[in-house]
Structure 1
Amino acid sequence: MEITIYQIIPELDKEHVKFRELAYLQSLEYSTPNAQIYEAIYHGKVDASSLEDIYRIFNRVTESDALFLDSIGFTGHSLSVSDIVEIIDSPDKSRFYFCCSIGFQQIAFAKNLAMGKVLNHDYADPVSFTRQGSFYLCFMDEFDVTTMLCSGFSLERCKYSQSQLGYRLCLQRGDNPSYIREFLTRPSLLLFASDSGKPPEELFYQISDSGLKVSLYPSHSPEKIKAVEAWCQKQDIFYEYI
């Protein structure tokens, strides 16, 4: 039997539905599990003729069970409530089953929205950060150091690619649309007081009398944020790293 097993990615589980029954999802007004928070933890052919066989195979009850699952490339937790089993009848025909506390229930599932096996789980940092107020936020993006006046921001885990998690930074700027940036690794965010104004260009450039600018740092040097930190210290400006 050819199958794929999907499990919820903890870092994306904002509504805490992992290990919860299907009835709980329905109480949140989900007609079907949200495929975007699932990853395909295993795909292959197994010696099984029923869902009960699959359940027995993918449970790490004994050490020999664990060794067998490791040998076939299964790195997830024991098959549990909220997991989804796809039974592949043909290349264009599949059935999906939600693992309940007792048995399985057939469901609809948008497998094209699920992630492949995630390469960079970071269970130590699943928390989303939110801050409201008026402040400047300084960070490095793919272009250069950016400093923006904000009325709030949020940083949360997100899907970065089909097999990697990242971080989504959303900045609010008054009534203007949010500014959104995504990063593969967690960005260093320096927050400082809004009444101080932006850091002067002289922090980053040597400026000639004719106005010619010569950068003092390579484009993506983390020293640029350290220069802003030093400027805040010298000006006695409140700042903190998020």
Structure 2
Amino acid sequence: MTYEPRATHTATRFYGRLNGAELLGLSAVLVAAYALVHSGSADAGAATTAALFFVGLFDPVNTMLGRFDSVQQAAAGLARIVGVTLGGPASDERPQGPISHPGTALVVHDVHHRYGTGPDVLHGVDLELGAGQRLAIVGATGSGKSTLASLIAALRLPSSGRVTLGGTDTAGLAAPTPDGRRRIMLVTQEHHLFLGTVADNLRLARRDASASDLAAALAVVGATGWIDALPDGIDTAVGT
């Protein structure tokens, strides 16, 4: 189950009810106008004017309610910018040296997961990855790939089953340790490039990073060759 159909369904219901309210209100105005004209308390011109005023009233109301979605998106974007700018330990508090690992095997054992009271989207998943191994999971949209990744990264907890690293539940390894590090990280396909160079974007995580620090970070994720192929290397402008 994905979020896009749910969001579309919610938006359709919202605007459907909004249009229904407009129809109900306009019908009430027309019925009242008919009764007043029929009794001689108002003429056809006044009744028409009232109906037109009501229709004109709903246009700005619809526009205002529709803008709430844009406001919420802007608020979420602002929260992310603040999180990128202020989140994480200060540069002088960042530990140096290799990260110690609590074990070598990542094990997913008989994992089931569902969202809320819905049906299971994962059914008895089992896998084991040793140190240095890589695993590619493919499947159609909505088949549970992102859900499994979020369970491994402990962003969600499985409905049943266990996910462990070196025999320790990943839920206890995903949180920052006292030295400010995380044992498990999840990099999703939802990304954003800010206006600037590649180096500027990398320094969002560490503002005082030197050129050698950036080169080391690119080497760790295997992006050195790709960056070197850009017209100006790490100083290539992106996000335009």
Using the size of structure 1 for normalisation, the TM-score is 0.21
Structure that is richer in helix per residue:
2
Structure that is richer in strand per residue:
1
Structure ID, larger Rg: 2
Using the size of structure 2 for normalisation, the TM-score is 0.22
